[in-house]
Amino acid sequence: MEEEITAALKEKEEVISINEALNSELEDLTEKLSTSTSEIYDLKEEISALVSCSVQFFLGFNSDVK
């Protein structure tokens, strides 16, 4: 009986350890996702600004040609 209790406690400790490791990994991945989302937003803003400048340049170029 004592061996069964010891084995069950050991298994419980292993499961807790695995759970903690998975929680830590999940937190790391959540942080990376947040950072990636922020970087994507920044890139979208930069692309939008570049497109706007390109359009203004193109429109200005066309008005100079006429």
Burial of 44 (0-12, 13-18, 19+ CB in 10 A): exposed
Rounded Cα distance, 23 and 19, in Å: 6
DSSP type of residue 1: -
Q: Give the tens place of pLDDT for each residue, 1-53.
A: 999 999 999 999 999 999 999 999 999 999 999 999 999 999 999 999 999 99
Rounded Cα distance, 21 and 9, in Å: 18
Task: Assign 66 a pLDDT band (cuts: 50, 70, 90).
Answer: low
pLDDT value, residue 16: 98
Between the alpha carbon of residue 11 and those of residues 8, 23, 32, the distances in Å are 5, 18, 32
pLDDT value, residue 48: 95
Mean pLDDT of 57-62: 80
